[in-house]
Structure 1
Amino acid sequence: MHIAILALDGLFDTGLAVTLDTLRAANGLAARTMGGSPRFDVSTVGVRKRVRSGHGFAIPVEPVTPDLKPDWVIVPALAATTPELLLPALERADVKDAVRQLQKWRAQGVSIGASCIGTFLLAEAGLLDHRQATSTWSLAPLFRQRYPHVLLDESRMLVPTDIGVTAGAAMGHLDLALWLVRKSSPELAALVSRFLLADIRTSQAPYIIPNHLAQADPLIQRFERWARDHLKEGFSLQHAANALATSTRSLQRRCQEVLGKSPLAYFQDLRVERAQSLLHGSGLDLGAIAAEVGYEDGATLRTLLRQRLGRGVRDLRAGLR
């Protein structure tokens, strides 16, 4: 399998390194322990002759030529972690050239994958329109507003589709690389995971910080503050809207546009976050914690935590993600 990694100026150093190291580890382990030749022919390519990483290191790249047609192209993230940094980066000439190149490769049948902010380039190219995708959870509000035709679910770690795959925030580069190895050999992927001490993750949900997402919109910020003060109460959309001096329809619409979920779902996110905090840092039993976040009994909270976080109460108390 020929994998071309498309490197751009200012990329996230760790994203590139972990992708290269995971694929190299897979090749080495396949040769040493499974009696096979290297599974992955990996090259780093660029739309410019000179590329520097986010930390300023020179990255040797091969030029993109008309006859270059890999099986997969991987787009590492740019090290632009805020809207103020990312939006100007997306307007750069080299980024626009990369977007056009991605469109050409896809038209030729090349599969394309990206992690974290790299997913923005796939969306810029229109490759994710009307398809499910994930991205870095921290910029999900911006992604959702900029690309309304993408079916974004930032709670997922990996989303394969017919055009390739998208992966989640920062270390999602590792998940994407392991996913590619798994497509070649599940046995090899398990071996690489053990050597790298890399657990297989299916969800970003345990890592999402609701307060960070709320900063993307003034109404959502006010709703978050109100919700935190009323976690012990049963949720009422009408009461929330009245307190915020808005209509229920406006609150529902804004939550959907910014957060991709209903006000009730976000309210439950805050309950889960508060329950996690109490499980880690208090001596309260589960029933008392349930009462603190507005549930009548511990069993209901236990079910919700497992559904949302994929972990049981015992693991959460131990601080496991």
Structure 2
Amino acid sequence: MRIALLALDGLFDTGLTVVLDAFGIANRFAAQLMGQTPPFNVSIVGVRKKVRSGHGLPIPVQAITPNLRPDWVLVPALNASTPDLLIPALARKDVADARAHLLAWHAQGAHIAASCIGSFLLAETGLLDHQEATTTWWLAPLFRQRYPNVSLDESRMLVPSGRMVTAGAAMGHLDLALWLIRKGSPELASMVSRYLLADIRSSQAPYIIPNHLAQADPLILRFERWAREHLKQGFSLQEAANALATSARTLQRRCQAVLGKSPLDYFQDLRVERARSLVQGSGLDLEAIATEVGYADGATLRTLLRQRLGRGVRELRADLR
């Protein structure tokens, strides 16, 4: 498999290096333990002759030539983790040049993968329009605003869609690399993941901080504050809208536009976050915690935690040991 890593100035250092390490280990195991030819031919390519990482380290890049025909192009994240840094970065000349190369490679039949903030660069090409995608969870509101034609689900860690795949935040680079290794050899992917103490995670949901998402919109922030004060009560959309001096329709529309979910779903997220905090940080039993977050019994809460976080009460408490 010929893989081209597209390196731009200001890359997230860990994103680049963890991908290189994962494929390097896979090649080594394939040769030494399985007697195979190393299956991954990885090159780092750049639209500029000199490229530096986000920490200022020089990245050795190859020039992009007409005969470069990768099977996969990987787009690591830029080290621009807030909207005020990312929006100007996306307007840079080298990013525009990178978009043109991505479109050309895609037209030639290449598959394209992007992780974390790299999914913004891929979305800038228009190739993700009317496709499913994920991205770094805390920038999901900005992603929805910029790319309304993309079906975004930031709760997922990996989203294949056609000849493209996107991965979630930060260490999603490793999940993406393991996913690509597994496409070639599940056995090899298992060996690499065990060596790195890492498994492909299916969800970002356990890592999402609802309050961070609410910061993207004044109305949603006010709704978030109101909701935290009413977790014990049953949710009423009209009551919430009245308290915020808006209409139920406006609140519904803003939640969908900013968060990609209904006000009720976001209210449930806040309940789960609070319940998780109490499970891990208080001496309350599950029945008492259920009462604190507005559920009739502990069994209902136990099921919800498992559905939303993929972990049970014992596992959540064990995380603190």
Q: TM-score normalised by the shorter chain: which range applies? A: over 0.9
**Residues 273-300 of structure 1, C-alpha deviation per residue, up to 9 Å, x if partnerless?**
0000000001111111011000001111
**Is the partner of 2:170 in helix, strand or coil?**
coil
User: Could you tell which deviates more after superposition, 266-275 or 306-315?
Assistant: 306-315
**Is the partner of 2:43 in helix, strand or coil?**
strand
Q: Could you tell me which amino acid in structure 1 is paired with residue 308 of structure 2?
A: R
User: Could you tell which deviates more after superposition, 228-237 or 192-201?
Assistant: 192-201
1:118-157 correspondence to structure 2 within 5 Å = 118-157=118-157
The RMSD of aligned alpha carbons is 0.7
Report if aligned partners of 1:134, 1:166 keep a CA contact under 8 Å in 2: yes
Report if aligned partners of 2:231, 2:271 keep a CA contact under 8 Å in 1: yes
In structure 1, the residue matched to 2:22 is: 22
- Whole-Å separation in 2 of the counterparts to 1:64 and 1:294: 57
Deviation at residue 218 of structure 1 after TM alignment: 0.2
**Is the partner of 1:261 in helix, strand or coil?**
coil
Number of aligned residue pairs: give it: 320
- Give ranges in structure 1 of 5+ residues lacking alignment: none
In structure 1, the residue matched to 2:70 is: 70
- Whole-Å separation in 1 of the counterparts to 2:31 and 2:275: 47
1:68-217 correspondence to structure 2 within 5 Å = 68-217=68-217
**Residues 209-237 of structure 1, C-alpha deviation per residue, up to 9 Å, x if partnerless?**
00000000000000000000000000000
TM-score under structure 1 length normalisation: 0.99
1:242-281 correspondence to structure 2 within 5 Å = 242-281=242-281
Q: Could you tell me which amino acid in structure 1 is paired with residue 38 of structure 2?
A: P
- Whole-Å separation in 1 of the counterparts to 2:200 and 2:289: 30
User: Could you tell which deviates more after superposition, 309-318 or 237-246?
Assistant: 309-318
Deviation at residue 319 of structure 1 after TM alignment: 2.0
**Residues 6-55 of structure 1, C-alpha deviation per residue, up to 9 Å, x if partnerless?**
00000000000000000000000111111111010000000111100000
Report if aligned partners of 2:7, 2:46 keep a CA contact under 8 Å in 1: yes
Q: Could you tell me which amino acid in structure 1 is paired with residue 131 of structure 2?
A: R
Report if aligned partners of 1:127, 1:163 keep a CA contact under 8 Å in 2: no
**Residues 90-111 of structure 1, C-alpha deviation per residue, up to 9 Å, x if partnerless?**
0000000001110111111100
Report if aligned partners of 1:157, 1:167 keep a CA contact under 8 Å in 2: yes
In structure 1, the residue matched to 2:287 is: 287
Give 4+ residue runs of structure 1 displaced > 3 Å after superposition: none
- Whole-Å separation in 1 of the counterparts to 2:60 and 2:191: 29
Identity %: 76
- Whole-Å separation in 2 of the counterparts to 1:41 and 1:4: 8
User: Could you tell which deviates more after superposition, 149-158 or 33-42?
Assistant: 33-42
In structure 2, the residue matched to 1:33 is: 33
TM-score under structure 2 length normalisation: 0.99
